[in-house]
Structure 1
Amino acid sequence: MGFKFNLKLVNLKQVMPLLSLLLLFPVAVMAIDELNTADQLALKGYDPVSYFDGKPVKGDPAISSMHNNAEYYFISQKNKDRFRLMPEKYAPMYGGFCAYGVRMGKKLDIDPLAFEINDGHLYVLLNRATHKMWKQDMEKNIQISDMLWPQIQIKSVDSLN
């Protein structure tokens, strides 16, 4: 007694929308909280290029650019152009979550004024106290965060905190 599958009974037009949803579902799950954004806004509206110029400055919503599903604001068209040429250089590490939080296996929000640039990378932190802890052994903290980020990147904030 075997099971026979009759393709004539399956209406492909009815099944395709369901299959499409099933294929998209894992992508949607993976996208959960990969970036620290409120309404897709990265760095709480601060211009990522301005960090590399020495002082973070709030960007202008009229001068914006999307990168990896996050919107970045800029203080000038020049900064926007610099970002668009090399977004990986200017975008914050760990999806814009607190770098020290990632070291602890968590996804924490940031104070955009608590930051560190090391080896050409932007690390944002929860607050000044966390920034101080991050700097105490920055190289080791970066190693640990780099190791943990791939594991926690696809997990929701709620599942980690």
Structure 2
Amino acid sequence: MNKLIYTLFLIFSLSAFSGEFYTSKRGVMGGYDPVSYFKQKRGSKGSAKITYQWAGATWRFKSEENRSLFIASPRTYAPQFGSYCAMAMAHNENVISNPKISTIFEDKLYLFYTKDAYRSWKANKK
């Protein structure tokens, strides 16, 4: 079963980019700056004054530098699975993620809805 979940996860990871992101009133990822996960190894809230429209959604950033990095390569920084929970997607479910629970795996950002979902994902990827 663990191998099946991991295999599904990899298939979803390699699938074509859909361009659809879950968006709250604060934008994608609840207003968190996607670049901050790569630079600081954790998410930081973005500013309502520093935004960018991409893939039909509003993205917030902590700094103009982060915004510029995102504009130059949005697919590098955008979360996988439209910002839905990676573990739930492995079970073919769309579950809104918590931007405070994340990981970078193979240079991609993955979000999770609970710490248990993250732990399950982590255990199944081994």
TM-score class normalised by the smaller sequence: 0.7 to 0.9
In structure 1, the residue matched to 2:50 is 63
5+ residue gaps, structure 1, are 1-33, 140-161
In structure 1, the residue matched to 2:67 is 80
In structure 2, the residue matched to 1:113 is 100
Task: Tell whether the 8 Å contact from 1:111 to 1:125 is kept in structure 2 after alignment.
Answer: yes
Correspondence list, 1:1-161, <5 A = 34-39=20-25, 41-53=27-39, 54-138=41-125
Task: Tell whether the 8 Å contact from 1:40 to 1:69 is kept in structure 2 after alignment.
Answer: no
Task: Tell whether the 8 Å contact from 1:112 to 1:125 is kept in structure 2 after alignment.
Answer: yes
Computed over aligned residues only, the root mean square deviation of the Cα atoms, in angstroms, reads: 1.3
Distance in 2 between the 1:37 and 1:133 partners? 25
Query: Which has the higher relative contact order, 1 or 2, with Cα contacts under 8 A spaced 6 or more apart?
Result: 2
Superposition deviation, residue 111 in structure 1: 0.9
Higher percent of residues as strand: 2
Report Cα offsets for 1:120-153 as digits up to 9, x if no partner. Answer: 10000111111110111226xxxxxxxxxxxxxx
Distance in 2 between the 1:65 and 1:75 partners? 12
Q: Secondary structure, in 3 states, of the residue corresponding to 1:105?
A: coil
The alignment's TM-score, normalised by the length of structure 1, stands at 0.63
Superposition deviation, residue 103 in structure 1: 0.3
5+ residue gaps, structure 2, are 1-19
In structure 1, the residue matched to 2:14 is none
Higher percent of residues as helix: 1
The alignment's TM-score, normalised by the length of structure 2, stands at 0.80
How many aligned positions are there?
106
Distance in 1 between the 2:115 and 2:60 partners? 23
Q: Which entry has the higher C-alpha Rg, 1 or 2?
A: 1
Q: Secondary structure, in 3 states, of the residue corresponding to 1:88?
A: helix
Distance in 1 between the 2:25 and 2:95 partners? 16
